[in-house]
Structure 1
Amino acid sequence: MRCPVCKQATVPAFRPFCSQRCADIDLGRWLREEYSIPGPDADIDADIEEKP
């Protein structure tokens, strides 16, 4: 298995990464919302329902 960040061989202690550095890089990408799942645009107004 290869590290998804740098493509080096993984280390069992940090699997699926090769090091703590690559794990931290990946976490930073998640926190900056660089990863996304494609799908239809959400209707923001539909999420906020008005109550009578």
Structure 2
Amino acid sequence: MSTAQNKAKGCPTCGADANSETRPFCSKRCADIDLGRWFQGAYAIPAVDAADDSIIDAELAASDKRRQNDSDEGYS
């Protein structure tokens, strides 16, 4: 990404031109504000709930069976 593109985006906190030392923010203050927002839960990464746990249950059962077979054959 070029410097012109970085300046066009601006600071995600206040919109000012980004500083090369604190990029993508314009200052340490704006970076700290953004970090505080993450800590307070203002931002979140969306998660998708598994609608069907049968796949997970099948994988766990297969893993348990492999582990049992290994222990029966003397593997640990």
TM-score of the aligned structures, taking structure 2 as reference length: 0.49
Partner of 1:17: 25
CA distance in 1, matches of 2:30, 2:49: 31
CA distance in 2, matches of 1:39, 1:31: 18
Higher relative contact order (CA 8 A, sep 6+): 1
Q: Give 1:38 shift.
A: 3.0
Q: Any runs of at least 4 consecutive aligned residues in structure 1 with deviations exceeding 2 A, and if so which?
A: 37-42
Question: C-alpha root-mean-square deviation of aligned residues, in Å?
Answer: 1.6
TM-score of the aligned structures, taking structure 1 as reference length: 0.69
**Partner deviation per Cα, 1:2-49 (whole Å, 9 max, x = no partner):** 00000000000000000011000001001111101234458xxxxxxx
Structure 2 unaligned spans of 5+: 1-8, 51-76
Whose Rg is larger? 2
Structure 1 unaligned spans of 5+: 43-52
